[in-house]
Structure 1
Amino acid sequence: MFQPLKQALAGAQILFVAFGAMVLVPLLTGLNPSLALLGAGVGTLLFQLSTGRKVPIFLGSSFAFIAPIIYATQTWGLPSTMFGLFAAGFMYFVFAGLVRWRGIAAVNRLLPPVVIGPVIMVIGLSVATVASDMAMGRAGSQQVIPYQTALMLAAISLATTVLVAIYAKGMFRLVPILAGVIAGYAVAGFMGLVDFEKIADAPWLAVPHFVTPEVNWAAALFMLPVAIAPAIEHIGGVMAIGGVTGRDYPRDPGLHRTLAGDGLGVCIAGLIGGPPVTTYAEVTGAVMITRNFNPVTMTWAALFAIAMAFFGKFNALLASIPMPVMGGIMVLLFGTIASIGLKTLIEAKVDLMAPRNLVIVSVVLTCGIGALELKFGGFSLVGVGLCSLLAIILNLILPRHAAHHEGIVEAQDM
């Protein structure tokens, strides 16, 4: 009798840990937070179905897709963007098939750290101006919230997030984003910047507004390469949770099955209108602290997420968060994503004095941050998608013998 209750409470705790990051993605991209919860819940259940419920992983909104979603929505519209996200899920199946056929070594050869690192850096840095504009209370060229007020709110949410991330203990250290949003929201409420009437008028129960995908192959081709980074991140996440639990998940249930499960979650999110999902490091941290390795806990977390998706007032509450509060969080978040890319290069000891490596990283960073766009008739490739392809192509065609840094040193001496 008490065991199911204990597991349910543990599942609620997991959802609480993942909550801040999970709803942040739709708030930044203009998607429906309720559909993010629904996609995360259904995606996690599909992942468990694919893996025989052997891996204690929760799937939540992926940060890697923030910039691509913003660009694709502005370029092709939301229905076409959803089709692109649905198509991106198939990249996971490609990786799953490759792992099943040739093993993880084949993926590592195709996507070494010198490819993955700069691409992840572009994911964070390419939307740095969006974070700054929101922190300053700007939407496009309009000053929506007074500049000084906006900066103060952004500073409060950012400072709170940083303090909790550095000084908090135990479970509280896992929810810095949630703490930052709550602090900024509370101050904004006292300043009269929150419209509480819309929350009061919202229904308690409401069916989320689903978005029907519209077939657009340009959007699909744009999104496909974007899935490379989160797919690699998924592999790292599975290995990380295996290190916590002491089990070899790449062998049982198999990395091909975990990748396929994640891919199913991404496809479902695109079909309903939510952001793509990925494994959450926050949840891995929670599992490490609580020592609760039972995957049933994740089932409960998924069920709670699905239930929350139909809570109308909750959606209205999220929609009432002032822009600068989210901007303050983004200043840290996007920089953190870029730092993860840098960490990838450092941990792999990539020699940036080697001409080959320097060319790959330099070209990817410049094209990504500078928003270089390639157009072929009505089709265009820009951002993370273009950078991923550039990095893969350069890694394949540049000679391996150019792995020494003497050439650069000699060129500098000249």
Structure 2
Amino acid sequence: MTSSNEFPGFMNAKTLLSGGQMLFVAFGALVLVPLLTGLDPSVALFTAGLGTLVFHSVTRVSVPVFLASSFAFIAPVQVSVQQWGIPATLSGLMAAGFAYIVLSQVVRIYGANSLQRILPAIVVGPVIMVIGLALAPVAVNMALGKTGDGSAELFPYTQALFVSMTALLVTLGLAVFGRGFYRLVSILGGVLVGYLFALLLGMVDFDPIRDSAWVAAPAFVFPEFHWQAILFMLPVALAPAIEHLGDMVAIGQITGKNYIKKPGLQRTLLGDGLATSVAAVFGGPPNTTYSEVTGAVMLTRSFNPKIMVWAAIIAILLAFAGKLGALLQTIPSPVMGGIMTLLFGSIAVVGMNTLTRAHLELTAPRNLCIASLILVFGIGGMQIGGGAFMLQGVGLAAVVGIVLNLILPGAPQVASSEKSS
């Protein structure tokens, strides 16, 4: 009989609780994407868990990340669903996952160093900042009681702000002043206290719980092969692929490990690609490594990758637990919005730290041009193309940074003190 001692750090209550906390952190953004794109939130919960397990099977449970719905695909999926329907769109999303797989094999053959030469700190640092700051409006809108895109008001401003800031302050207090177990549950504590105040203010709607069954299978949808949808979706894969690299560097900065070397960028990209393709098979949105979970790892110092395996298992179970899944969906958006303002900001700080550790002279003309355009294009909403090809956000910021780094003469300039040493 197998003993739990053979799996240290896996089969214990502390790891299970931490996994639940990570799922809480990801939940708001995880279900936002399917709600905006017409996909099913329960399916997204299932495919996020399944995709995370696929990722960790490929990377041998070595990277503390959770995979869930990718924001980079929101606009393309909306357009594709309107033109060709959900099953055809899913075939395009499967193809996007295969594009990751191809890229992982390129890295395997030519090595990650070639990518690192193309993506030095002057490119990667600002891109990581964009990953966090580009999502800032979503967090702020949710904190103010609006939908993630700000198009509609869900809760009165005063109530929403009170609840979101209460959740944020509790999370801050536990993260900064808490010790041991209390620091571990800082985000979960913020969610619970925020939910309690929202309940007292009448912001919680229990109708979804009453209307749901105790056990219900997610409404799976299966892909149908469609060339136009595939060709439309393939270029979009560039954005989350670059975001993946930034996330691997970011989580490496937090944990003090180099995941580009071990388990290797080729393995993490392969895991991400397979997770995205598997998600599309069942009707879920594309998966990507979640920046807010990376922020949670930074706050709680929970570096054990097995925590994310538990988060994945809980996500899969919740996808089938109708009442429990409905209860999670009753969490008002301001509760998660308040906490996300901190998490997204912490990712931007990781990007700043990447630049600082590289000792770069940011006022040097070459460095200044690269960093400035990455930030403005990525955060400001610059868009290139349309229709079958559209590049924006993190993907556009990364492409601009890569191209400028390649065509501008010289190398990234370090600070004068570093040169003299």
Report the CA distance shift for 1:310/1:143 in structure 2 as closer, same or farther (over 3 A). closer
**Residue of structure 2 equivalent to 1:27:** 31
Contact in 2 for aligned 1:116/1:229 (Cα 8 Å): no
Report the CA distance shift for 1:84/1:257 in structure 2 as closer, same or farther (over 3 A). same
- 1:366 positional shift: 1.4
2: distance between equivalents of 1:253 and 1:330? 29
Amino acid at match of 2:126: P
Q: Which moved more, 1:388-397 or 1:85-94?
A: 85-94
The equivalent position to 1:190 in structure 2, one of 196, 200, 204, is 200
**Residue of structure 2 equivalent to 1:15:** 19
- 1:392 positional shift: 1.2
Report the CA distance shift for 1:228/1:170 in structure 2 as closer, same or farther (over 3 A). same
> Is 1:229 the equivalent of 2:233?
no
**Residue of structure 1 equivalent to 2:389:** 379
Instruction: Report SS of the residue matched to 2:11.
Output: helix
Contact in 1 for aligned 2:215/2:321 (Cα 8 Å): yes
Instruction: Report SS of the residue matched to 1:97.
Output: helix
**Residue of structure 1 equivalent to 2:66:** 60
> Is 1:50 the equivalent of 2:54?
no
**Residue of structure 1 equivalent to 2:171:** 161
1: distance between equivalents of 2:385 and 2:75? 15
- 1:241 positional shift: 6.7
What is the RMSD of the two structures over their aligned residues, measured on CA atoms?
3.7
Contact in 2 for aligned 1:41/1:301 (Cα 8 Å): yes
1: distance between equivalents of 2:46 and 2:186? 23
Contact in 2 for aligned 1:43/1:266 (Cα 8 Å): yes
**Residue of structure 2 equivalent to 1:397:** 407
The equivalent position to 1:326 in structure 2, one of 336, 343, 348, is 336
Contact in 2 for aligned 1:33/1:315 (Cα 8 Å): no
**Residue of structure 1 equivalent to 2:419:** none
Amino acid at match of 1:193: M
Amino acid at match of 1:234: M
**Residue of structure 2 equivalent to 1:93:** 101
Q: Which moved more, 1:187-196 or 1:229-238?
A: 229-238
- 1:189 positional shift: 1.0
> Is 1:129 the equivalent of 2:143?
no
Contact in 2 for aligned 1:151/1:324 (Cα 8 Å): yes
Amino acid at match of 1:361: A
Any stretches of 5+ residues in structure 1 without a counterpart?
Answer: 407-414
Counterpart mapping for 1:357-372 below 5 A: 357-372=367-382
Q: Which moved more, 1:15-24 or 1:108-117?
A: 15-24
Amino acid at match of 1:89: G
Counterpart mapping for 1:284-303 below 5 A: 302-303=312-313
Instruction: Report SS of the residue matched to 2:3.
Output: helix
Contact in 1 for aligned 2:127/2:398 (Cα 8 Å): yes
Instruction: Report SS of the residue matched to 1:138.
Output: coil
Any stretches of 5+ residues in structure 2 without a counterpart?
Answer: 417-421
Instruction: Report SS of the residue matched to 2:50.
Output: helix
- 1:262 positional shift: 3.3
**Residue of structure 2 equivalent to 1:119:** 127
* 1:265-287 Cα shifts (integer Å, max 9, x gaps): 23223433145143865897899
1: distance between equivalents of 2:412 and 2:178? 46
The equivalent position to 2:115 in structure 1, one of 102, 107, 124, is 107
Contact in 2 for aligned 1:218/1:380 (Cα 8 Å): no
Instruction: Report SS of the residue matched to 2:391.
Output: strand
